[in-house]
Amino acid sequence: MKTHYLNHGLPPEWSGVAQVFTALGDDWRQRILLAFEPGERLSIKAIADPLPLSRTAVVHHLDVLREAGILIAEKSGRAVMYHLDESRLQWALDTLRTYIALLHPDNPHA
Protein backbone atom coordinates (compact mmCIF):
# COMPACT_ATOMS: atom_id res chain seq x y z
CA MET A 1 0.00 0.00 0.00
CA LYS A 2 1.26 3.43 -0.93
CA THR A 3 0.51 5.63 2.08
CA HIS A 4 2.31 8.76 0.91
CA TYR A 5 -0.81 10.32 -0.61
CA LEU A 6 -2.93 9.31 2.37
CA ASN A 7 -0.67 11.32 4.65
CA HIS A 8 0.58 14.11 2.38
CA GLY A 9 -2.31 14.89 0.05
CA LEU A 10 -2.72 14.71 -3.68
CA PRO A 11 0.07 15.15 -6.18
CA PRO A 12 -0.05 18.55 -7.91
CA GLU A 13 -1.12 17.03 -11.24
CA TRP A 14 -4.31 15.75 -9.56
CA SER A 15 -5.36 19.19 -8.32
CA GLY A 16 -8.86 19.79 -9.64
CA VAL A 17 -9.63 16.26 -10.84
CA ALA A 18 -12.16 15.68 -8.05
CA GLN A 19 -13.83 19.00 -8.82
CA VAL A 20 -14.39 17.98 -12.45
CA PHE A 21 -15.79 14.56 -11.59
CA THR A 22 -17.89 15.94 -8.73
CA ALA A 23 -19.42 18.48 -11.11
CA LEU A 24 -20.22 15.67 -13.53
CA GLY A 25 -21.75 13.58 -10.75
CA ASP A 26 -25.11 15.34 -11.04
CA ASP A 27 -27.69 14.28 -13.62
CA TRP A 28 -28.82 17.83 -14.39
CA ARG A 29 -25.26 19.04 -14.92
CA GLN A 30 -24.66 16.12 -17.27
CA ARG A 31 -27.79 17.10 -19.21
CA ILE A 32 -26.62 20.70 -19.44
CA LEU A 33 -23.21 19.56 -20.64
CA LEU A 34 -24.74 17.29 -23.28
CA ALA A 35 -26.93 20.15 -24.56
CA PHE A 36 -23.93 21.93 -26.07
CA GLU A 37 -23.16 21.41 -29.74
CA PRO A 38 -19.46 21.57 -30.70
CA GLY A 39 -18.28 25.19 -30.52
CA GLU A 40 -21.69 26.41 -29.39
CA ARG A 41 -22.19 29.32 -26.98
CA LEU A 42 -25.41 29.36 -24.99
CA SER A 43 -27.03 31.96 -22.77
CA ILE A 44 -28.57 31.16 -19.40
CA LYS A 45 -31.99 31.70 -20.97
CA ALA A 46 -31.29 29.25 -23.80
CA ILE A 47 -30.19 26.63 -21.29
CA ALA A 48 -32.93 27.29 -18.71
CA ASP A 49 -35.96 27.55 -21.03
CA PRO A 50 -36.26 23.85 -21.96
CA LEU A 51 -35.45 22.62 -18.44
CA PRO A 52 -38.07 21.97 -15.74
CA LEU A 53 -35.83 23.73 -13.21
CA SER A 54 -35.97 27.23 -11.79
CA ARG A 55 -33.60 29.78 -13.26
CA THR A 56 -31.86 29.87 -9.87
CA ALA A 57 -31.26 26.11 -9.99
CA VAL A 58 -29.90 26.36 -13.56
CA VAL A 59 -27.56 29.20 -12.55
CA HIS A 60 -26.33 27.09 -9.61
CA HIS A 61 -25.55 24.15 -11.93
CA LEU A 62 -23.82 26.46 -14.40
CA ASP A 63 -21.74 27.92 -11.56
CA VAL A 64 -20.64 24.44 -10.44
CA LEU A 65 -19.63 23.54 -14.01
CA ARG A 66 -17.83 26.88 -14.41
CA GLU A 67 -15.99 26.56 -11.10
CA ALA A 68 -14.84 23.08 -12.15
CA GLY A 69 -13.47 24.61 -15.36
CA ILE A 70 -15.84 22.64 -17.58
CA LEU A 71 -17.73 25.71 -18.78
CA ILE A 72 -16.36 29.13 -19.57
CA ALA A 73 -18.62 32.15 -18.99
CA GLU A 74 -18.14 35.28 -21.07
CA LYS A 75 -20.12 38.49 -20.89
CA SER A 76 -21.72 39.48 -24.20
CA GLY A 77 -23.55 42.75 -23.73
CA ARG A 78 -26.04 42.11 -20.93
CA ALA A 79 -26.02 38.34 -21.40
CA VAL A 80 -23.57 35.78 -20.10
CA MET A 81 -22.67 33.20 -22.72
CA TYR A 82 -21.36 29.77 -21.78
CA HIS A 83 -19.22 27.41 -23.80
CA LEU A 84 -17.41 24.16 -23.09
CA ASP A 85 -13.75 23.89 -22.23
CA GLU A 86 -13.15 20.50 -23.81
CA SER A 87 -9.49 20.65 -22.77
CA ARG A 88 -10.47 20.60 -19.07
CA LEU A 89 -12.56 17.46 -19.58
CA GLN A 90 -9.78 15.86 -21.61
CA TRP A 91 -7.22 16.72 -18.93
CA ALA A 92 -9.28 15.08 -16.15
CA LEU A 93 -9.82 11.98 -18.28
CA ASP A 94 -6.14 11.78 -19.27
CA THR A 95 -5.07 12.09 -15.62
CA LEU A 96 -7.25 9.13 -14.74
CA ARG A 97 -6.06 7.14 -17.77
CA THR A 98 -2.44 7.72 -16.77
CA TYR A 99 -3.17 6.37 -13.31
CA ILE A 100 -4.96 3.31 -14.72
CA ALA A 101 -2.04 2.65 -17.07
CA LEU A 102 0.34 2.70 -14.10
CA LEU A 103 -1.80 0.06 -12.37
CA HIS A 104 -1.78 -2.19 -15.45
CA PRO A 105 1.49 -1.54 -17.33
CA ASP A 106 1.15 -4.74 -19.41
CA ASN A 107 -2.34 -3.86 -20.70
CA PRO A 108 -2.14 -1.54 -23.73
CA HIS A 109 -5.88 -0.83 -23.42
CA ALA A 110 -5.72 0.36 -19.80
Q: How far apart are CA 80 and CA 24, in angstroms?
A: 21
Q: E strands of 1-110, at which residues? A: 42-43, 71-76, 79-84
Q: What's the pTM?
A: 0.85
- Asked if residue 52 belongs to a domain, the reply is yes
CATH code (residue 43): 1.10.10.10
Q: Which pLDDT belongs to residue 105?
A: 76
User: Domain tally for the chain?
Assistant: 1
Average pLDDT, the chain: 91
* CB 106, CB 34: distance < 8 Å: no
Per the structure, the complete domain to which residue 21 belongs is given by: 15-100
Q: How far apart are CA 45 and CA 41, in angstroms?
A: 12
Residue 109: is its pLDDT beyond 90? no
- Asked if residue 94 belongs to a domain, the reply is yes
- Asked if residue 51 belongs to a domain, the reply is yes
Mean pLDDT to the nearest integer, 78-97: 94
- Asked if residue 3 belongs to a domain, the reply is no
- Asked if residue 2 belongs to a domain, the reply is no
- Asked if residue 91 belongs to a domain, the reply is yes
- Asked if residue 29 belongs to a domain, the reply is yes
- Asked if residue 50 belongs to a domain, the reply is yes
pLDDT tier at 5, thresholds 50, 70, 90: confident
Q: How far apart are CA 81 and CA 101, in angstroms?
A: 37
Residue 49: is its pLDDT beyond 70? yes
